[in-house]
Structure 1
Amino acid sequence: MSGAAVIIGASGGIGGAFRTLLEEEGAFAPVHGFARSFTGANHIDLLDEASIAAAAAHVARGPAPALIFVATGLLHEGDRGPEKALRDVDPDWLARSYAVNAIGPLLVAKHFLPLMPRTGRTVFAALSARVGSISDNRLGGWHGYRASKAALNMLVRTLAIEEKRRNDRSILVTLHPGTVDTALSRPFQANVPDGRLFDPERAAMQLLDVIEALKPTDSGKLLDYQGEEIPF
């Protein structure tokens, strides 16, 4: 691939490390980083479609993006976190989980996918989670996070089918990065086995390796950090 790269969520642990890695490798130019905490042209808020459209317009002024990486996600916020049981379900928290984890990335796709080339290999990748796999759910709980990530997986698969009609070498995937030492996972790291908690830099390298090895036949899949498919 050649062209620009776009990282949504570039202020986070994985997104920031991924941006640094791409800049160091020099395979993409320019490397655009957007985040809610950024100001000016690099600001984006997944809950504000106008800001997503403005970010896409900024990218459209330069080389077409061959890689778009959505490194965002919501698991806990303030005193709210993943539900342990049905009694903990709150409709407002469910709606916010869907807005950030599923609808936000879909709006990114709405505004950024049309900027990608119509020919040649392109990749749109969004961070998901193994707990978003319905068939892999053995523990229950975490209703909003599980369901919103499952929705993201379905949305990206649907987009993959649609995008094939525009560019038959396009690849759209969701990626499970493993448990990464970031603010998102920090309250839940106590039971992570030795050697399975990755620092953001290692996670970024693993994900880039997966992205570089993707083939058009992988489009629509949920893959882990080793490139193994996780059934929906």
Structure 2
Amino acid sequence: MNAAGFLHAGTTSHSDLHKGLKDGLNKGASVAHIKREPLNQSRIPTASTQPQISQCQMPEKRLSEITPAFLEHNLRANLYLSIALAQCCDNLLPRCTPFRFACLSAMVGSIADNHSGGWYSYRISKAALNMFLKTLSLEWQRQFPNACVAAIHPGTTDTQLSAPFQSRITASKLYSSDISARRIVSVIESLTPEQSGRFYHWDGSVLSW
């Protein structure tokens, strides 16, 4: 749990949780970790925790470049971890618990906003995450009436993931990790159960799925 009271599956203090989640949808180790390290009862954010870009493969520009291995890599990074953590929460939290479950998505996962093509595996994995979160919000609306489920677009952040593409980005559109984190926390803290099931920009505006 960091200073803001958020659980992040990728932090070193939660390495057991991260390992349990990335091993697949086997919840045993993850549930055991959460029982040892109780979650803050008001906020449960999660995010992708492994890089999507390997040194040997960049995002696909053409259909012919799609490979099952790279598609699976992206799905594991951007979808499976969030499903596994949601399953842990589903099993452990009392019905009336107020909490927010937020995952980092991306504008490239928006079907409505796809005007340039390319990046097949990354787009597919983020679009799948968005569909998962929308569907989860409907189930949890009944099961956890005080919960809010949301996808958040953090903007282009200065990280290992964006490094190969930063030459195309203007300085004003590239944000430090600290700035992005503060914006994400601000959006999450503003969410209410009535706002569940939506895709948010880092500035709090609602994006199209």
Per the normalisation by structure 1, the TM-score is 0.80
State the distance in 1 between where 2:68 and 2:142 align: 37
SS at match of 2:168: coil
Structure 1 partner of 2:22 = 47
Contact in 2 for aligned 1:46/1:100 (Cα 8 Å): no
8 A Cα contact 2:17 2:34, kept in partner: no
The match for 1:68 is 44
Q: Which residue of 2 aligns with 1:59?
A: 34
**Structure 2: how far apart are the matches of 1:120 and 1:53?**
22
Write 1 or 2 for the structure with the bigger share of strand. 1
Q: Which residue of 2 aligns with 1:17?
A: none
**What is the RMSD computed on CA atoms of the aligned residues?**
2.2
Counterpart among 125, 146, 160 of residue 148 in structure 1: 125
Give me the whole-angstrom Cα distance separating, in 2, the residues matched to 1:147 and 1:63: 33
* 1:69-95 Cα distance to aligned partner (Å, 9 max, x none): 222154311211210111211122112
Superposition deviation, residue 131 in structure 1:
0.4
- In 2, the alpha carbon distance for the partners of 1:161 and 1:151 equals 16
Higher helix share: 2
Displacement of 1:50 after TM fit?
7.1
Distance 2:162 2:176 in 1: 11
TM-score under structure 2 length normalisation = 0.88
Unaligned runs of 5+ in 1: 12-32
What residue in structure 1 maps to residue 92 of structure 2? 115
Runs of 4+ with >6 A deviation? none
Count how many residue pairs are aligned between Structure 1 and Structure 2: 204
Any idea what SS the aligned residue of 2:76 has?
A: helix
Identity %: 34
Indicate the SS of the match to 2:22: coil
One-letter code of the match for 2:179? R
Which residue of structure 2 lines up, in the alignment, with residue 193 of structure 1? 170
Gapped runs of 5+ residues in structure 2?
none
Which sits farther off after the overlay, 200-209 or 46-55?
A: 46-55
Q: Deviations over 1:49-86 (max 9, x none)?
A: 37753133222235444322222154311211210111
Shift of 1:97: 1.3
Q: Secondary structure at the match of 2:116?
A: coil
